[in-house]
C-alpha cells in the first residue's frame, strides 16, 4: 500500500520518510490516518487545501506595514494559486523578483495570469470561480491592485477547509 501526502496528495512509497513532491515529513499518526483516508478519499481528485486568510486583516496589515505585508501576500497567493491550479509555473518569490526588476510590468501580467489560474483551478475542482483575469488586469493597471489581491484571496479561500 502506498502513502499519500496530506499536504499535496501525491503518492509516495511505503518506506518514505518525506514526501518526494513537497518534502512534508511523514509521522506515525499521519501513516495511520492515511491508510484509513485512502479508502475514503480519492487523493488524485482531492482538492488542494490552502490556509483561509482574513482579507480585511491582510489589507490592514499591508497598510500598517507600508506594503511589506503586501509583498508577502503577493508571494503566498502566487504559490497557493500554483498549488490549487496544478500549474508549477513561476514561484511567488520569482514573480516578486520579476515584478521588481521590470518596474511593475511583470506585475500587470501577473494579475491577468492569476485570474486564469483561479478560473482553471475552479473548473478543475468544481468551485464556483469566474474568469476575472481582465478585471484583475484593469484594476492593476489603474492602481487598484489591493482590490485584485482581495478578490484573488477570496477565490483562494474557497479552497480552504
What single string gives the DSSP state of each residue in 88-153?
--S-HHHHHHHHHHTTTHHHHHHHHHHHHHHHHHHHHTT------HHHHHHHHHTT-HHHHHHHHH
Of the candidates 23, 75, 89, 80, the one whose C-alpha atom is nearest the C-alpha of residue 51 is 80
Query: What is the three-class DSSP state of 112?
Result: helix
Taking the CB of residue 38, how many other CB atoms lie within 10 A of it? 15
| Span 5-29, pLDDT tens digits | 777 777 777 778 878 777 788 775 4
Instruction: Tell me the whole-structure pTM to 2 decimals.
Output: 0.69
Question: Looking at residues 126-132, what average pLDDT do you find?
Answer: 92
Asked whether the beta carbons of 141 and 161 are under 8 A apart, the reply is no
In the chain, what are the domain boundaries? 3-45, 55-157
Higher local confidence (pLDDT), 10 or 104 = 104
The position carrying cell 493597471 is 141
Please check whether residue 148 is in contact with residue 133, taking contact to mean a CB–CB distance below 8 angstroms: no
Which of 94, 81, 83, 93 has the alpha carbon at shortest distance from 21? 83
Q: How many CB atoms lie within 10 A of CB 59?
A: 18
* 82 pLDDT higher than 50: yes
- pLDDT tens, residue by residue, 36-60: 444 344 444 566 788 999 999 999 9
Amino acid at each position: 500500500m502506498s502513502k499519500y501526502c496530506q499536504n499535496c496528495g501525491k503518492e509516495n512509497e511505503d518506506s518514505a520518510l518525506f514526501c518526494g513532491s513537497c518534502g512534508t515529513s511523514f509521522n506515525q499518526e499521519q501513516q495511520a490516518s492515511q491508510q484509513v483516508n485512502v479508502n475514503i478519499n480519492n487523493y488524485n481528485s482531492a482538492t488542494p487545501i490552502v490556509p483561509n486568510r482574513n482579507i480585511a486583516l491582510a489589507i490592514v496589515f499591508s497598510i500598517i506595514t507600508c506594503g511589506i505585508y503586501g509583498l508577502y501576500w503577493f508571494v503566498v497567493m502566487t504559490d497557493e494559486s500554483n498549488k490549487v491550479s496544478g500549474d508549477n509555473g513561476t514561484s511567488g518569490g520569482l514573480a516578486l523578483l520579476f515584478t521588481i526588476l521590470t518596474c511593475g510590468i511583470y506585475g500587470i501580467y501577473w494579475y491577468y495570469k492569476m485570474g486564469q489560474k483561479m478560473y482553471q483551478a475552479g473548473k478543475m475542482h468544481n468551485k464556483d470561480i469566474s474568469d476575472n483575469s481582465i478585471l484583475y488586469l484593469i484594476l492593476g493597471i489603474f492602481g487598484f491592485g489591493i482590490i485584485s489581491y482581495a478578490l484573488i484571496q477570496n477565490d483562494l479561500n474557497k479552497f480552504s477547509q
